[in-house]
Structure 1
């Protein structure tokens, strides 16, 4: 069988230096980790000027070409002048809406188009940045990688031809968590009761006020639970709007180190993620990888990601969210949901995602 020639890829990795890299940062790191196992691939990261490694998880496993500009100026030069042009590669992979000027064919990953559906959930500057990125992708990208069929449909509706759009599901990696680590985590935060977990960046589309109201409905129905919210502050007034149950039932823990986050997942009785809209919904797959029953939003990418293994609810209906939590904790359903979560997570592989993405990159490079 003929060996494919080595493919030189220039990939944007600036997201890893953001204060909250989020799912896009995880996507970059996990692809790079999987790429390291491939012999026919050479990847160089592209970033703004930084003195050190990304603060969140340390050095990236590839050489990084630092453009001698700060992030804001680099992004402006890319978006407005399409300069400086990235060279020395067979293909350029824009991993977020920050799309570099380039001399080689462009492949772009579009994680979601939530700003098109709910622009009020974002800052005006953010919407303008996303719209400009979308215009560049629509005009210049040889191929577009998306993490779900829901995002693929949004891309087509935004004017990107279907033949340019490739669905590549994200993989998932469950962090290590043993019973002792879970017990330590629970004791540190005074978590005596079983708890419902939510994880993510607190921002309007995550629907936290309705989650809290739905949780309150579940408690009124007799569920003896706490609600634990973990993740960094985002934007909007989500923290101020988290009301509806007594303070000792809702714990806002903020951003956790990786070991504590794994313990939080592993110790959860249920994971509830009624987001209004996501491109994929990584927290859903991460909870499933820890064998936690999941409650998430019907008619969204999270339904696609969970693939029949989750309790589905109407994210706009607080009572239905409460109903979903009660259903997930019911002793007759809980073990089966936990097993279904593990089975679905086992189907999501970063190695497979990397191989499929490389196939798109290689085709675009010609």
Structure 2
């Protein structure tokens, strides 16, 4: 029996977002796509019992869940310095850099490890992360350069950026994610929309107010959006104080921008599906999972020309050039073009849903299994 051990810690991240979704969806697909004679086991840092139950409930086909004696913080430090290996031997797949990267013998013992690097923000926008996180990312990339048998990235853009940082040779493999299976519109969508206070027309965006995400620029753009259409923000870390300051600086009326905070998957699906426009103004991105989710719901998308987003969208959205002081005005033009043209909005609806269908978790899992077979 061939065993693939998957590091599942990122499923338990306290803040919902791209990496927890990616980890859960990929692990589930790896279980479903396991070739004959292969099985999937999980590994997780020491956690409260309800967290273990969450993993086993979300991944019913998981053969075994290995539980470390170390908590996440201690295990992260141990792996950063090459201590503490996983039980057993064979294949290891890490959906992030949180991985036991150390010397091993792939040719004689069959041990192998693949890690995932989702972006290069620790280098391009270190101010978006804490100094400790930046230091950890850079240290783990160095360990990956020495010990990883393969590196999975979500886009060719990240692959190109990574080449400027570390020499991985031919070990880099591009394997994109897919829309989340948990973001389905529920049967009580109308009731949820009423509870959330969703207006008939609105622009939706996801992300905190920080420079690389461009949300502050989007808020300024709303001053030029027709018919006083409001902007609704979703996401953990959208601070009310920062939001109020950004709205005031943009000269917007109170209530023109509203913070929905963190939403359940069902509520997020409703908000995505009913938005007139989904705006993704990010100045730097490794893949663009929220944008792909909007495509999957048929919501017209206006996005920046960040290389990874151009790669993901492939002309399925309205592209806005990032460079220059008039970025907010260009964002407003893109949003207004959708709001004022029903034929354009309808065309983007169909193009977006078709584009989203290109990405599947089964396809991603098949590529991961093939990657480990190639090793």
- Would you say same fold, with TM above 0.5? yes
Residue equivalent to 1:187: 194
RMSD over aligned CA atoms reads: 2.2
Aligned partner of residue 51 in structure 2, secondary structure: coil
Secondary structure of 2:170 counterpart: helix
Cα offset, 1:285, TM superposition = 0.5
* Aligned pair partner of 2:337 in 324, 327, 339: 327
Quote the Cα distance in structure 2 between the aligned partners of 1:126 and 1:240. Answer: 28
Tell me the equivalent position of 2:237: 233
Kindly report which structure 2 residues correspond to 1:185-334, keeping only aligned pairs within 5 A, or say none: 185-200=192-207, 203-218=210-225, 222-233=226-237, 238-239=242-243, 241-243=245-247, 244=250, 245-316=252-323, 317-329=327-339, 330-334=341-345
What TM-score do you get using the length of structure 2 for normalisation?
0.88
The 5-angstrom pairing of residues 76-155 of structure 1 reads 76-80=77-81, 82-101=82-101, 103=104, 104-155=111-162
Q: CA deviation at 1:114?
A: 1.3
Confirm or deny that 1:50 pairs with 2:61.
Answer: no
Give the TM-score normalised by the residue count of structure 1.
0.90
Structure 1, unpaired ranges of 5+: 1-5
Q: 1:265 & 1:223 partners in 2: Cα distance? A: 20
Unpaired stretches in structure 2, ≥5 consecutive residues: 105-110
- Taking the aligned partners of 2:18 and 2:144, their CA distance within structure 1 comes to 20
Name the structure with the higher helix share. Answer: 2
The answer as to whether partners of 1:99 and 1:136 remain within 8 angstroms in 2 is no
Q: Is the 8 A contact 2:153 2:175 kept in 1?
A: yes
Q: Once the 2 structures are TM-superposed, how far is the Cα of residue 21 of structure 1 from its aligned partner? A: 4.4
Decide whether the 8 Å contact of 2:204 with 2:279 is kept in 1. yes
Structure 1 position 315, deviation (Å): 3.4
Is the CA contact (8 Å cut-off) linking 2:151 and 2:172 kept in structure 1? yes
Shift of 1:308: 0.9
What SS does the aligned partner of 1:68 have? strand
- Alignment partner, residue 3 of structure 1: none
Which has the higher mean CA deviation after the structures are superposed, 42-51 or 100-109?
100-109
- d(CA) in 2 for partners of 1:276, 1:333: 25
1:290 positional shift: 0.3
Looking at structure 2, the residues matched to 290 and 149 of structure 1 have their Cα atoms a distance apart, in angstroms, of: 25
User: In 1, distance between residues paired with 2:242 and 2:4?
Assistant: 39
| 1:251-282 deviations in Å (ceiling 9; x for gaps) | 10110111111111111111001111111110
